[in-house]
Amino acid sequence: MQGKRVVVLTGAGISAESGIRTFRDNDGLWENQRVEDVATPRAWEVNPGRVWRFYQARRRQLSEVEPNPAHEALAELSDGLEHMVLITQNVDDLHERGGSQDVIHMHGRLETLRCEASGRYERRMKDSDLVDDFLECDCCADPQRVRPDIVWFGEMPMHMNEIYAVVDACEVFMVVGSSGHVYPAADLVHIAQANGAHTILVNAEPPLNVDYFDEVHLGMAGELLPGLVQGWLAPSG
């Protein structure tokens, strides 16, 4: 990988190994809630209190989990390469706490809240910011209600122009812990492969798009990635 342009995309599986539940269980529920009830613009319109309490509980959970060896291995990989971009579908801060910098969060972030009026986001993680009552912004002269700074189903993911540009240009594209169910993230491997990139998968089980990967490593990312990274960073010859 040395000297090559590397892009890494991570999904819910890497966070699950730290104890954060994946966004959708086998029964179709998201942490015992229907996705339609807590993760769509319509849900926020119809019952904002339920949506707010759901995300406040997820925000409080951040203090109960820690980065795992997979997060730390990706930070080590980034430090050892000249050109690496880390994109995540996850909304937690485990990559940053594991040592990674400049992470692209395509589905938003739990640590930040977004003003409904201005669209600006603020990092709000004090104890007083984690209550079940609605909060107001700090950016408007007349403070407005804030919403979770999360991309809900039916909304456009963030930073897509930047993401498409780096995937178009990459020479190695690696996916860690992603089911291949969620679009447009699941399409990125197709774009990378079509442009001649070497594609690598590290996942607990084969995802829907497994056939698009040149190199497949099945197992827990926290167990596999540290050794893989050591090999990728080892001097050749």
Catalytic annotation present for 190: no
* Token pair of 137 as six digits: 């912004």
DSSP H helix total and E strand total for the chain: 9, 11
Q: Which helix (H) or strand (E) holds 203?
A: strand 198-203
Amino acid at the residue 142: D
Cα–Cα dist 237/227, whole Å: 18
Are the beta carbons of 224 and 202 closer than 8 angstroms? yes
- Strand 108-115 relative to strand 121-123, pairing: antiparallel
Cα–Cα dist 98/207, whole Å: 25
- Per DSSP (E only), the strands in 74-156 are 83-88, 104-105, 108-115, 121-123, 146-150
> Could you tell me which residues come within 8 angstroms of residue 158 by beta carbon, excluding any fewer than 6 positions away?
105, 106, 107, 108, 151
| C-alpha distances in Å from residue 26, one per residue of 21, 132, 138, 193 | 12, 28, 40, 30
Are the beta carbons of 194 and 167 closer than 8 angstroms? no
Catalytic residue among 105, 107, 159, 217: 107
Are the beta carbons of 167 and 189 closer than 8 angstroms? no
Give the residue numbers annotated as catalytic, written as ranges.
107
